[in-house]
Homo-oligomer: A and B are copies of this chain.
């Protein structure tokens, strides 16, 4: 049997820790890095991030939106970035937040998870506004190819609270919050020690607000954005995720990228050390 995404993720945690560098080529960062706001600039930005990550972290997370701004030229830049990262043995989570039904969402999964596809990544973020059941095809595809998914569940922004804490009125997860029902449905396909189907839970949320406990996340990979620029400090990891902190992919973007092309290696090293201290506490 081939290795599952969950098994590979555990290996990365052990070998390289939990830090994930977000590749977010904001227009203001391109300017700060003295790069043009174009496909060419995006490619250069992406490749320099990969280079700076090598030997320091095991996971990268490109934010697809910033590449999509430049259409096909942006996607070419992303393809180069993905190929460079994966060629060097780094794990890549495509932060695409795709969601749809049936053959459409299957096409998105084919785009990002099929071995040999131009945009092949190791995992992608997806949205279950149309139900976790709408993600059956991506889950089957991920399992087949040893890939992972991270389903949006509880995000940090206050305006998401009303939807994500709304109470489900029918079906198996009746009386649970939308976020908790997503976690429950995703976990149906996960096995100990760590499954391949993760969730996105922002670093500044309180699990209890969504009717969740860390026990609900015992076998669930967690993509945890919101550190640094968005307000959370690494030493809040255990307070936020409890025992499930061990399952977190800790994503940091602007706090690293704003160090600029000359400072990025050092900024990553500093965050790796800081995160290791937070885990050792």
Interface of A with B (CB < 8 Å)? Answer: 24, 26, 63, 65-66, 68-76, 78-79, 95, 97-105, 107-108, 110-111, 117-119, 127-134, 152, 155, 157-171, 173, 177-178, 181
* Identity of the chain B residue whose Cβ is nearest the Cβ of A153 in the assembled complex: B129
The distance in angstroms between the C-alpha atoms of A162 and B169, with both chains bound, is 7
A104 proximity list for chain B (CB < 8 A): 24, 63, 65-66, 95
A-B contact pairs, 30 of them (CB 8 A): A26-B103, A65-B98, A66-B104, A68-B108, A68-B119, A70-B118, A71-B75, A71-B117, A71-B118, A72-B73, A72-B76, A99-B99, A99-B127, A99-B129, A101-B155, A129-B160, A129-B163, A130-B157, A133-B157, A133-B158, A133-B159, A133-B160, A134-B157, A134-B159, A162-B171, A163-B178, A165-B169, A165-B170, A166-B168, A167-B167
Q: Give min CB distance, A138 to chain B, whole Å.
A: 11
Known: A97-B99, A129-B152, A155-B101. A69 touches B111 (CB 8 A): yes
Is B166 a contact partner of A169 (Cβ separation < 8 A)?
Answer: yes
Q: What separation, in Å, do the CA atoms of A63 and B100 have in the docked complex? A: 10
Residues of B within 8 A of A134 (CB): 157, 159-160
- Taking a contact as CB atoms closer than 8 A, the residue among B95, B101, B129 that contacts A128 in the complex is B129
Copies in the complex: 2
In addition to A72-B78, A166-B169, 9 A-B residue pairs with Cβ atoms within 8 Å of each other are: A65-B107, A97-B98, A127-B127, A130-B155, A134-B157, A134-B160, A163-B181, A166-B178, A167-B167
The answer to whether A69 and B110 have CB atoms under 8 Å apart is yes
| Residue numbers in B under 8 Å from A79 (CB-CB) | 71-72
Kindly identify which residue among B75, B95, B100, B167 contacts A166, using a CB–CB cutoff of 8 Å. Answer: B167
- Separation of A73 and B165 alpha carbons in the complex (Å): 40
Q: Which residue of B lies closest to A226 (CB)?
A: B101
Q: Is A118 a contact of B165 with CB atoms below 8 Å? A: no
Interface centre among A78, A97, A103 (most CB of B within 10 A): A97
Known contacts: A71-B118, A107-B68, A111-B69. The answer to whether A131 contacts B161 by CB under 8 A is yes
Nearest B residue to A63, CB-CB: B104
Q: Is the CB of B163 within 8 A of A128?
A: yes
Taken together as a complex, chains A and B put the C-alpha atoms of A109 and B92 apart, in Å, by 24
Query: Which interface residue of A65, A99, A173 has the most chain B CB atoms within 10 A?
Result: A65
B69 touches A72 (CB 8 A): no
**A131 with B162, Cβ < 8 A, contacts A26-B103, A98-B97, A118-B70 known:** yes
